[in-house]
A and B are shown apart, each in its own frame.
Chain A
Amino acid sequence: DAGVIQSPRHEVTEMGQEVTLRCKPISGHNSLFWYRQTMMRGLELLIYFNNNVPIDDSGMPEDRFSAKMPNASFSTLKIQPSEPRDSAVYFCASSPRQGANTEAFFGQGTRLTVV
């Protein structure tokens, strides 16, 4: 398996624009996580899905952020409108089954810069 695939790897956008980050989890994995990494706040869990259903979105910072998982092989994280403080590396991760004892497999991340 190719692992968790995220696109794009880098995104530079202007403030106010809509940004969509994409993730393809590992085939057969039932859980998907979106994380944000910044120098100031470290790694923060934004939202996670089990079997395509959002379970915990308490980490989503504002209504400008939304995430969807229309099927088991694809998820998006959308920011609309984007702001400079959204600049960060966004990671997607998936894990094989529901349960806290399974490791999460991370993608390479998307480095977002909002100017």
Chain B
Amino acid sequence: AQSVTQLDSQVPVFEEAPVELRCNYSSSVSVYLFWYVQYPNQGLQLLLKYLSGSTLVKGINGFEAEFNKSQTSFHLRKPSVHISDTAEYFCAVSEFGNEKLTFGTGTRLTIIP
């Protein structure tokens, strides 16, 4: 069965500094990978997804993530964060042939002015 581990539950970052949110997954088959963002009192919104092809995926709001199959990782990065990036970020995985989307426990990103 697939699983996702987000190693950091909270990440404080100064405004305009870079950030990396870590995600590792476990699966016995090929996977699709996603990052979602949840703003306070909102539903989840897709930031980016990796389906196939280039391992570097660019998403909305200046975020990008890199799929590393050998390390089973899909870390999310942004070179310069803004106050508006304050939110909770979820990594998710689904396996080929199975729609079930499994989420990590989330990382709360706090931007310090």
Q: How many A-B residue pairs have CB under 8 A?
A: 57
Give a binary string over B47-72; 1 marks a CB under 8 Å from any A CB, 0 the rest.
00101000000000000000000000
Most chain A Cβ neighbours within 10 Å, of B34, B94, B97: B94
8 A Cβ contacts from A74-115 to B: 91, 93, 95, 98-101, 103-109
* Interface bracket on A: 20 to 34
Residues in B with CB closer than 8 Å to A34 are none
Would A42 and B103 count as touching, CB distance under 8 A?
yes
Would B96 and A100 count as touching, CB distance under 8 A?
yes
Q: Is A45 located at the chain interface by the 8 A CB criterion?
A: yes
Would B43 and A103 count as touching, CB distance under 8 A?
no
Residues in A with CB closer than 8 Å to B43 are 4, 91, 93, 106-109
8 A Cβ contacts from B77-113 to A: 90, 94-106
Q: Is B44 located at the chain interface by the 8 A CB criterion?
A: yes
Selecting from A13-21, A48-56, A61-69, the interface stretch reads A48-56
Chain B interfacial positions (CB closer than 8 Å to A) = 32, 34, 36, 41-46, 49, 51, 90, 94-106
Would you mind naming 20 contact pairs between A and B with Cβ atoms under 8 Å apart?
A42-B105, A42-B106, A43-B44, A48-B99, A50-B99, A55-B99, A91-B44, A93-B44, A100-B98, A100-B99, A100-B100, A101-B32, A101-B51, A101-B94, A104-B46, A104-B101, A106-B36, A108-B41, A109-B42, A109-B43
Q: Given known contacts A43-B106, A108-B43, what 19 new A-B pairs fall within 8 Å (CB)? A: A42-B104, A43-B44, A45-B101, A45-B102, A48-B99, A50-B99, A91-B43, A93-B43, A100-B98, A101-B32, A101-B94, A103-B49, A104-B44, A104-B46, A105-B46, A106-B43, A107-B43, A108-B41, A108-B42
Chain A interfacial positions (CB closer than 8 Å to B) = 4, 31, 33, 35, 42-43, 45, 48, 50, 55-56, 91, 93, 95, 98-101, 103-109
